[in-house]
Each structure stands twice: as C-alpha cells, then as structure tokens.
Amino acid sequence: MESIFFIVVAAVAVISSILVVTCKNPINSALSLVMTFFCLATFYVMLDAPFMAATQVIVYAGAIMVLIIFVIMLLNVKAESNKRGTHAVLAGTVIGIFVLFQTCWFLIKGSMTGLPGVMDKASIVKEGHVEMIGKALFTDFLLPFEITSILLLAAIVGAVILAKKKI
C-alpha cells in the first residue's frame, strides 16, 4: 500500500520536474515547480517530519514561488523564442546523466555513515516533532540560528539596495 502511494507521488514529482525544465513559458515552469514542492512535502510527511513538510509548503511554495511569479509578471517575461544551440543542450544533458550515474553508483557501492541517534516514530509521536526540533535548534544549534538571522538581515538589505531605482 505504502509502496504504491510512494511510487505514484514519486512519478508525479519527476514528471513535474521534467516539465519545469522543458516548458517554454516561465509561468508554466513555475507552476510545475510548485507541484514538485507539494510532492516533496508529501514525502516529508511520509518520513515522519510533519513540521518540515509544513515549513516546505509555507516557505518554498508559499513565499519563494510567489516571489518568483511576481518577478516574472513584473518583468513581463515572454516565452523563450529559441533554445540554446544543440551542442549546449547535448553537453548539458550528458553531464546531467553523468551526475545521475555517479550518484547511483554511490548508492550501490557506498555505506551509510552518520551518527545514529535515539529518535524513532514512537518518540516523535510522544514528544511532538516541533518540540524536538525546537530543543535541538535552541541548544546544540544556537549559534547557526543566530547567524541565520544576520544572514536574513543582509539579504533584506541587499535585495532592497539592488532593486532600487537609484541608490
């Protein structure tokens, strides 16, 4: 049961990502990307990370994609008239396939490394996923958290300055 569900959602994800790459109209690409994000959120739920799924939808599908669509409409981007040269497309595709091949090779030959921990489904249900993330975030990862805030400040300032008519 679960496997069928997984395969269906995976197929939807892959097809929509291919659509992102191949559509001529950028709005179509954007909408396909939103679809991909939703599929990924579903996967997160399947992987017992509901908070992450929610965050994914809110941040990616809700904020970033909206921003992108705003920009597309602001700049009045037309559909792409002509593609790049065939050589470039071919080269790009070949390299992409290479990347895929290497990654799969790693999967087959490699072994799982990484520190095992104590979390499992039961503890997630018992404690609450948000609380677990919060605990880790505000104790072990406090410094990156604070730095991220500065990063966001820099991004805001940068974005405002870059897009102004005159500085």
Partner 1 sequence: MIAINNYLILSAILFAIGTIGVLTRRNAIVIFMCVEMMLNAVNLTFIAFSRYLGNIDGQIFVFFVMTVAAAEAAVGLALMIAFYKNRESIDVEDINLLKL
Partner 2 sequence: MFEYVWLIPLFPLIGVVINGLFGKKIKNEKIIGGIASGAVFGSFVVACGILVQLLSLPGEERHFEKTVFTWIQSGNFKADIGFLIDPLSAMMLMVVTGVGFLIHLYSIGYMHGEEGFYRYFTYLNLFTFSMLLLVAGNNLLLMFVGWEGVGLCSYLLIGYYFHKKSAGDAGKKAFVMNRVGDFGFLLGLFTLFWYLGGTHNVWTVNFRELAANADLLVPGAVVTTVALCFFVGAMGKSAQIPLYTWLPDAMEGPTPVSALIHAATMVTAGVYMIARMNFIYIKSPTALLVIACVGAATALFAATIGLAQNDIKRVLAYSTVSQLGYMFLAMGVGAFGAGVFHLMTHAFFKACLFLGSGSVIHAMHHALHHEHSDADPQDMRNMGGLRKKMPITFWTFLLATIAIAGIPGFAGFFSKDEILWQAFANPHHGGMNIVLWAAGAVAAGLTAFYMFRLVFMTFFGKTRLSDKAFHHLHESPFVIVFPLMVLALLSVVGGWIGVPKVIGDALGGLPNFFEHYLEPVFAYSTAYMSHGGHGAAHHSLVLEWGLMGVSVLIACGGIALAYALYIVSPAIPERITAAIPVLHRAVYNKWYVDEIYDFMIVNPTKSFSNFLWKGFDVVVVDGVVNGVGAAVRGFSGILRHVQTGMVHNYAFSMVVGVVVIVGVYLFR
Q: Which of residues 108-147 bind partner 1 (CB under 8 A)?
A: 112, 114-120, 132-133, 136-137, 140-141, 144
Which of the 8 DSSP states describes residue 29? H
Return the one option of partner 2, partner 1, none that residue 52 interacts with (CB less than 5 to 8 A, by type). Answer: partner 1
Return the one option of partner 1, partner 2, none that residue 138 interacts with (CB less than 5 to 8 A, by type). Answer: none
* Helix (H) or strand (E) run with residue 142 in it: helix 142-163
Residue (63 or 125) nearer to partner 1, CB: 63
Residue (77 or 125) nearer to partner 1, CB: 77
Per-residue mark of binding to partner 1, 55-94 (x: CB under 8 A)? xx--xx--xx--xx--xx-xx-x--x--xx---xx-xxx-
Return the one option of partner 2, partner 1, none that residue 42 interacts with (CB less than 5 to 8 A, by type). Answer: none
Chain centroid to Cα 161, Å, comes to: 27
Return the one option of partner 1, partner 2, none that residue 141 interacts with (CB less than 5 to 8 A, by type). Answer: partner 1
Quick one: angle between helices 142-163 and 129-139, nearest 10?
A: 90
Q: Which residues, at least 6 apart from 19, have a Cβ–Cβ distance to it below 8 Å?
A: 28, 29, 32
Compute the least distance from the CB of residue 92 to partner 2, in Å. Answer: 7
Cα within 13 Å of Cα(25), Cβ side: 6
Q: What share of the chain is helix, strand, coil (3-state, %, to 5)?
A: 80, 0, 20
Q: Which of residues 26-55 bind partner 1 (CB under 8 A)?
A: 26, 29-30, 33, 36-37, 40, 43-44, 46-49, 51-52, 55
42 contacts 7 by C-beta, under 8 angstroms:
no
